[in-house]
Amino acid sequence: MIAKLLKSAGVVCVVTLFLADSALHGQDQQAPATDGTAKVSYYHQVRPILQAHCTGCHQPAKPRGKYVMTAFDTMLAGGESGDPAIVLGKPDERT
């Protein structure tokens, strides 16, 4: 039961990252799009969510599930499952 809850929390964090795919590629400035949608700012929109809900438990000092979310390379690497947590460019592929 606990493992299932932890995996669900991990999925929420990963989904948040997928929503910010363009921001994860260095587009930190929010700019209006011509089709009525706005670009996502990693620094202003995604990072605060991760800090509030994820990095408290997923940091080097206490890497819950052996998953560290304080650096991009460790977020890509995944945790104790050995599966990648993020597959760049393929938001439907998740563990």
pTM: 0.55
Calpha distance 15→46 (Å, rounded): 11
Give the integer Cα–Cα distance in Å for 95 and 85: 6
Are 27 and 21 within 8 A, CB to CB? no
In terms of residues, how long is the chain?
95
Q: Residue range 11-29: average pLDDT?
A: 49
Q: Phi and psi of 22, rounded to 5°?
A: -70, -35
Question: Which residue type occupies 91?
Answer: P
Tell me: pLDDT of 94 over 90.
no
Q: pLDDT band for position 10 (50/70/90)? A: low
**25-80 tens-digit pLDDT:** 444 445 555 565 778 888 899 889 999 999 999 999 988 999 999 888 888 888 99
Residue 25 corresponds to which tokens in the numbers above?
């590629």
Predicted local distance difference test score (pLDDT) of residue 92: 77
Q: Would you state the pLDDT for residue 7? A: 52
Token output for 37: 């949608």
